[in-house]
Amino acid sequence: MFQSDRAQFHDVAGVQVTIVMPCLNEVLSLPHCIANAHEALRHIDAAYGMSGEIVIADNGSTDGSQALARSLGARVVPVAERGYGAALIGGCRAARGRYILMGDCDGSYDFTDGVAMIGKLVEGYALCMGSRFDGGIAPGAMPWKNRWIGNPVLTGILNLFFRAGINDAHCGLRAITREGFDMLRLSGKGMEFASEMVIKAALLKFSIAETPVKLLPDLRERAPHLRPWRDGWRHLRYLLMLAPNWLFGLPALAMLLFGTIILGKAGMQYAWPGTFPSIGSYWTIIGSALLTIGHLAIIMTVGGQVYTLHAGYRRPGRLSRAIADIATLEHALVSGLTSIVLGGGVLALVYVQWVSRNYSMADSIFLPIFGTLLVTMGVQNVLGGFLLAIVGGHEARFLTVQIARHQGTADDIAENFRPTTVRF
């Protein structure tokens, strides 16, 4: 059975549940939030017989939040690295409980809504997300652009890319097992942390539950730390960086398809002049460019997949397993050198034809374009093969090695967590 590499924190002094709140100058809202968290812990104790603690992950407050939190019965964990995600990661790493409930300390969430989340973890789910759209959003609690544009769009993209199957990917109230938190190896320093947790949990096939939570107007008298457009872009770019199939793979397939059609037509026109409608030299160049870029994008897709497997937050899929035996450094070198030799031969033929024409201009540029394309793709294969081997941990069989490494992790997940994503 999977054992957390931080298992020494579990059940310290009888603590089984840790409520973590990130804090940066929240002296006005802390009394309410800590009192609310204490109430949630009493409900958790009554429902599941588990004691808990409150951790304030302080991100450098200068308003006395630390002393106030300690006086109210919370444990303060200083987190030097700034950012919403950095604070939560620091707080969760210091958590002593087997189950972690995290939420903002601005009064916008009712921590008693998290009691049901802990219940889902007890049942065997790895992660439980809150849904503000199911639980209700109080008037003035969420700006209209966040409610009707930002959250639906980003959650929709996340579900499309990663099949998480949830309707509120950015809810700040969520619960996770300590084992699950350690397995995710989270690193997002800013607001993109919210997406990162869901994405990596989905990639590792964690069981994810979703329960209703309320969103209330926050208690602060200053502007929130959230910047909708800036943080929205940070979320979007993070989604793209964790989805190489969509970022590189889909455009690659489109470019390869259209490039093959265009260059194929140019080749038939060259072989059988007058039989097919002319597409012109410019289209021949465009077709070659599409094939070159598409081929490079395929290498980048494989590189992204290898990296995510090597980093440990994606499990190998059917395609990775299918191409594992042929996706090796040696095959990349052989195919690349073969393409370079063939391309060189085509270019040599172009030179011979040029000489035979007494150095006059050719009627078609297809052959020089085609030869250059073969050489270019061959060089990309050679260099790309070495890059994939480096990204895969300096392994020539970069996919096979990563698939073998993940087999143990997959067995651990299957043994410890439920295999489906469920909403309640």
Specify the CATH number for the domain of residue 104.
3.90.550.10
**End-of-domain residue from the set 203, 219, 241:** 241
Give the separation between CA 380 and CA 371, rounded to whole angstroms.
14
**End-of-domain residue from the set 184, 217, 241:** 241
Assess whether 248 and 236 both reside in one domain: no
CA-based radius of gyration for the chain: 28
User: 176: which strand partners?
Assistant: 100, 127
* Residue 418 counted as domain residue: no
Assess whether 131 and 255 both reside in one domain: no
Assess whether 335 and 253 both reside in one domain: yes
Contact between residue 176 and residue 196 where contact means Cβ atoms under 8 Å apart: no
Assess whether 141 and 264 both reside in one domain: no
pTM of the model: 0.79
Assess whether 184 and 278 both reside in one domain: no
* Residue 424 counted as domain residue: no
* Residue 132 counted as domain residue: yes
Query: Tokens in use for 214?
Result: 């309320």
Report the candidate in 47, 49, 53 with the shortest Cα–Cα distance to residue 10.
53
User: 56: which strand partners?
Assistant: 21, 76
Burial class (CB in 10 A: 0-12, 13-18, 19+), 211: buried
Q: Which residues contact 71 (CB under 8 A, 6 or more apart)?
A: none
The list of the chain residues with pLDDT below 50 reads 1-10, 410, 413-414, 419-424
Query: Tokens in use for 167?
Result: 């309707």
pLDDT at res. 5: 38
Q: Roughly how many angstroms between the first and final C-alpha of the chain, as a whole number? A: 28
The Cβ of residue 321 has, within 10 Å, a number of other Cβ atoms equal to: 12
pLDDT at res. 309: 85
Give the separation between CA 310 and CA 292, rounded to whole angstroms.
27
pLDDT at res. 422: 43
Assess whether 193 and 108 both reside in one domain: yes
Give the separation between CA 321 and CA 335, rounded to whole angstroms.
20
Assess whether 222 and 288 both reside in one domain: no
pLDDT at res. 147: 86
Assess whether 119 and 230 both reside in one domain: yes
Assess whether 163 and 31 both reside in one domain: yes
Give the separation between CA 372 and CA 344, rounded to whole angstroms.
8
Structural domain boundaries, residue 342: 244-411
pLDDT at res. 416: 54
**End-of-domain residue from the set 194, 214, 241:** 241
Assess whether 312 and 193 both reside in one domain: no
Provide the domain count of the chain.
2
Phi, psi angle pair for 385, to nearest 5°: -60, -45
Contact between residue 90 and residue 81 where contact means Cβ atoms under 8 Å apart: yes
* Residue 236 counted as domain residue: yes
Assess whether 321 and 384 both reside in one domain: yes
